[in-house]
Amino acid sequence: MSSHISCLAAFAVLGLGFCTAANAAPDTTAGTVPSVTTPAANATTVTTPAPAALTLKSDTSLPAPTPAPPAAASADQNSAPAPAIAAAPTTLALKPEVKLPANSTAAQPAADPVVSTAAAAAPATADTVDDSDDTSELSVITIDPPAAQDPTLGEARDFPRYPLIKPAVAFWTKVFSEYSKDQSVIQSSVYPQKIFTVLDFRDVAARMSPEELSKYRARAESQAKEQVNDLLKQVNALQKTPEKMNSDQRKVYDLFSDVPGDQRFLDAVDTFRAQRGLKERTEEALNTSEKYLPSMETTFHKYDLPVTLTRLPLVESSFNVDAYSKAGAAGLWQFIPSSARIYMRLNNIVDDRRDPWTSTDAAARHLRDDYAALHDWPLAITAYNHGRGGIARALTAINGSTLVDLLKRSNAPRFGFAGRNYYAEFLAATDVERAYKKRNADEVRKETLRFDIVETQHYVPYETLRKLCGASDDVFRRLNPAYRPEVIEGKMYVPPGHP
């Protein structure tokens, strides 16, 4: 059997690599450590033996791994200023009575997770690799991703912009590109575009620790939502006599002028939420994405899928390969465990959700299956978030066939804010990326990662593979991020025959 390990070929841009595998004939000598022939200087391939074809399969069955040998053995309180209110369609005066410790340490809020990079190590040479126990050879396949394709081709056909969702697209565009991480937008979950106020914490963030800011912000957001609820109730009582309203009441009244029915104000009570800005996070994501998109687009093209779908990680994870949600979703594509086990390896040896290339192939097949079941890209994209079965059941319940049908007529409790907004978020992310590329058109495009896929024949210690690659521990881990700590620490071997 065989196993593929990613190894550095050249680092024009520093970042991650991957480890994938292909099936080959069963090996009867499993358990021995293979010898490795490293490429000569300036050589790009070693062709003995020829590598098996690179394939990715949904079969998750694995041979039982052979374990490796065991490893060696309070202050004065002063009132904090109320958060500033940024310009918005409607502005409400807030007076949060939140105390800030006078002697608190000034600190910036914790930064959003960013994938760090490291310098590449020089290719290994014979005198730097201990291969005294090796008895077989490795094959090396150089991977050089092609140039990115034009993602706008076919967009209008595949990803329609329904008039119903245009206000939501506009709102999410502002979230991704205008509102800072230190701003909170108070909006109705039913009408995302109806912004009641924007709380601005940028000034106080400079002199609060992240923990202090988090508490202060949560209280201010809660007060803002309570205040909006009170205003809606007041406006409901005065809606027949708007001339008696004060300025704040009148602004809320005007904000709902396009919503029919006398119950519209009471119906909006308790629907408010706080959406924090993602401008800085999205900027970092767009910068990071350039390292991955050409390869990702090639994968989606292989499955005859629209390459614009590769922008979904802007919504899912902000292209943070280390992203991990409270629901247990992980990686660029935020697979939950149940879906991951269908499309990739997730076991005690590897978690392929952490691998940007393997998980991209899995996401392509997931979206392909969503589209095959629902025959519509807006529905398939929504299903990636909400679940294929849930979307199908919701459509059946209303005898509908499109996302617009669901948005207009579905009252399914589980089809809530996230599902209703997911397609609009995707469209907004593509708009923000397009604007980013236009702004940076004169900058030199970052080169994508180039790496080798090394095929071994037997169970191999992770450290042996790292030495043969010639990369530092940090670089090799980022090239092969799927392996569990037990493998990295040498408690388990890298097994052959990973599908």
Catalytic amino acids? 316
Q: H helices then E strands: how many in the chain?
A: 18, 9
Q: Provide the H-helix boundaries in 258-410.
A: 264-268, 279-289, 293-302, 312-316, 337-343, 356-374, 377-386, 388-398, 403-409
> Cα separation of 183 and 197, whole Å?
10
Q: Name the residue type at position 289.
A: S
Report which of 376, 348, 385, 380 is spatially closest to residue 367, judged by C-alpha positions: 380
Element containing residue 430 per DSSP (H, E):
helix 417-439
Backbone phi, psi, residue 488, to 5°? -60, -35
Q: Is 182 helix (H, G, I), strand (E, B) or coil?
A: coil
Q: End-to-end CA distance of the chain: give it in Å, rounded.
A: 10
- The three-point CA angle 271-275-280 to 5° equals 170
Torsion from C-alpha of 249, 253, 254, 260, nearest 10 degrees? 180
Strands 450-456 and 139-143, bridge-based pairing? antiparallel
Angstrom distance (rounded) from CA 338 to CA 323: 17
Amino acid present at 434:
R
Say which DSSP state 375 is in: S
Q: How far is CA 462 from CA 26, 67, 335, 469, 489, in A?
A: 21, 12, 25, 11, 8
Bridge partners (DSSP) listed for residue 67: 492
- The span from the CA of 397 to the CA of 122, in Å, is 60
352, 359 Cβ separation under 8 angstroms = yes
What's at 77, amino acid-wise? Q
